[in-house]
């Protein structure tokens, strides 16, 4: 089953927007389709490892 629609309706989901060129957007849409994901879920999947990495980094106090 492909989850191509409405991922933003999931509990605690917050839509976010990214700025891409038209070509990048088209490629991202094709990538999501090939992976069977809603576009927003694909973006979250791609960003999640970087967010986790950032959380583990030592940061100055007051900047977390």
Q: Please indicate, yes or no, if residue 61 is contained in any of the structural domains.
A: no
pLDDT tens figures, 6-34: 666 778 878 778 899 999 999 999 999 99
Q: Please indicate, yes or no, if residue 48 is contained in any of the structural domains.
A: yes
pLDDT of 1 > 50? The answer is no
Q: Which residue has the higher pLDDT, 10 or 57?
A: 57
The total of structural domains in the chain comes to 1
Q: Please indicate, yes or no, if residue 12 is contained in any of the structural domains.
A: yes
Could you list the residue range(s) of the whole structural domain that residue 34 is in?
7-56
3-state SS class at 43: helix
The region, left, alpha or beta by phi > 0 then psi within -120 to 50, assigned to residue 53 is: alpha
């Amino acid at each position: 089953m492909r989850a191509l629609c409405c991922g933003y309706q999931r509990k605690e989901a917050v839509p976010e927007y990214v700025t891409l060129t038209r070509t990048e957007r088209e490629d991202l849409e094709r990538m999501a389709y090939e992976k069977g994901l809603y576009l927003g879920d694909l973006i979250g999947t791609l960003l999640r490892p970087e967010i986790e990495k950032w959380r583990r980094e030592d940061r100055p106090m007051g900047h977390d």
